Each structure stands twice: as structure tokens, then as C-alpha cells.
Amino acid sequence: MKDLPEGRANPTDQFMLTIDGGGLASGNVGTTTGREPGMQDRDFNAYAGPVAVKPGETYTLSELGVNGAQEEDYASRWSCKQGEEEIAHGRGVEGSVTIPESPANGTDVACTFTNAIVGGLSASKSAVPASGTPVQANDTITYTLRFANSASTPATVDTTDDLSDVLGNATMIQDPVSSSGTLAVVRTGKKLAITGALAAKSTATVSYTVRVHEKSERASNTVTNTLQGCASPEDCTTEHPVAALGVEKSAEAEIGVVNYTVTVTNTGEIAYTADKPATMTDNLAGLVKVGAVYRGTCGQARGRRAW
């Protein structure tokens, strides 16, 4: 027997059921018809059987999608009952059942394949530069969210891209753009809501770009972006290490002299380079004359020293 509690993924989907083995003659086949959900018992031709079986013999049960029905659109399971007692069960489109030896006078065994519609929607996130690539102030990161529907029916997208850890360290310079006219993106605060329909066997993307701002060097060592609703967190989370500066100043006073020490430490996960050097400014307003011993490049302008 066949049960479609959620109906068909496609209205025209049908299923051919077969029972064989145990010395049965071939041809014990039934094929569903119609478009109604639930138990497919309106047409006797939908049954594989009934057949006479022997206690102790093992029989094979199988189903096959026909008339365009695709196996990947359904999660199949099967169950065989003797009266109210389940004597065999499993998942998939094939199984086997051994007929019990009792009662001695025999009893009916009914087997049912039940198919639930499977959502074929998957989501992933990527970034340019790739996740794990170090970034510095003023660098840009372009994020792309990819939605794929592998099913033979349309899928519904309803997810959120949380930008809390991104917009604390970067500014969005290109608003989200959807590649699909049926997929809408709405930004509320630091979150993007992506909703809409995705056609069967299709993909769509949402892309946007941010620029790492100056204060991120002193606020966080990573820019992290996570898309909710993913089967695997690794597929939907990107991280970019950020160079970070730690600055400490101390002073020692002697007679007529104050010695200042400014200590700048790279507390981030990447090195500063000649192309992208570390920079900081010390405000010396109110100090008339300054003598300093330093390493690196130092310049003075309008009461400030910059390293």
C-alpha cells in the first residue's frame, strides 16, 4: 500500500509498488493514480497484491517513482504489520519482511510505503577575500549568500543574515543585491531578512560589500559573519582576522623633565607591512618642546606626534 500524507511534490507524481521473492510469481505490481493526498486506496490497481505468503518465508518490497516522480523529492519509509503489531520496518525504497510462524492458521500482513515531501533547499555563504584571509582598515569584503533548490518543486526561503559582528567593525558600502526577482532582502538594523520563493532546480544569490573601518583595529581581532538556518555552520560562517593595535602610555617625572613612553603592540593575528603600516597619533597639545627616543618613523605637526 502507499501513503502520501503530505501529498505529491508534483501533482503528476505516481509510484509503482512491487512484492516478490519467497517463490512468488512475477508481476505482483501496483501503481498509484490520481492526485489526492493520504492513503492511496481509492483504486485497487494501486495495491501490489494481495498475494498468498508462507510463514517463515522472506519477501522483498520495493517502490519506484513513475510519471516523473523523483526519489530525491521524498523521504521514504516502510512498515509491515500483522494485525496491529509491527513486524518489520525501515527507511528507503526497498525492504524485506519475514512472515511470522504464528498464529498457526495465519493472518493478514499489510505493508505500507509512506513518503514525506523533502525540502530541497540548501544555503551557504562565501566571501571575497576568502574566509580566513587577513584584512586591515579600509579593506573591502564582498559576501555572497547562495540558495539552491534541488527539489522538483518550488522552495520557500525564510532566513536571516546576522551582521552584528560585521557592522561593528565595518561599514556597508554596497547594499544587498538579489539575483532573483522572487527573493527579497530587507535590512533592519544589523540583520538582513531574506524571504521569497525559489523555483525548482534553481539557485539564487544575495551579495553585498563592506569596508573595514579604522576603529576595527582597536575593537576586534576578527570580522565574523553568520547566516542562520544552515545545515552546517561551517558552510554559513566566514571570519577575517583583523590587525589590532594596543597602545599604552606611561610617564616618569624628574626635576624639570617628564619622560613619556608610548608602547604600541600588535595584538591582532596578522602583521603590519610597509604597504599597510601600523599608525597611531599622540596628542602633544600644550607641550612646547619634546625630545623623544623612538623606533620607526616619527613626525611632528601642530602639537602632535605620529608614528
- Reported as a single tens digit per residue, the pLDDT across 109-125 is 999 999 988 777 888 99
* Among 214, 217, 198, 216, CA closest to 206: 198
Mean pLDDT of 17-39: 92
How buried is residue 180: exposed, middle or buried, by Cβ count under 10 Å (0-12/13-18/19+)?
middle
* Among 220, 186, 233, 235, CA closest to 206: 186
Q: Which domain holds residue 89?
A: 2-117
| Same domain flag for 88 and 178 | no
What pLDDT was estimated at residue 276?
Answer: 72
* Among 13, 43, 39, CA closest to 30: 43
| Same domain flag for 164 and 109 | no
216, pLDDT greater than 60: no
> pLDDT, tens digit, for every residue of 232-285?
667 778 888 876 667 788 888 777 787 888 888 776 666 777 777 777 777 776
How buried is residue 218: exposed, middle or buried, by Cβ count under 10 Å (0-12/13-18/19+)?
middle
| Same domain flag for 259 and 273 | yes
| Same domain flag for 64 and 158 | no
| Same domain flag for 270 and 236 | no
| Same domain flag for 231 and 256 | no
294, pLDDT greater than 70: no
Contact 185, 174 (CB under 8 A): no
Average pLDDT, the chain: 83
272: DSSP letter: -
Mean pLDDT of 77-106: 90
Predicted TM-score (pTM) of this structure: 0.56
| Same domain flag for 35 and 87 | yes
49, pLDDT greater than 60: yes
**pLDDT band at residue 211, thresholds of 50, 70 and 90?**
very high
Look at residues 218, 241, 264 and tell me which one is the last residue of a structural domain: 241
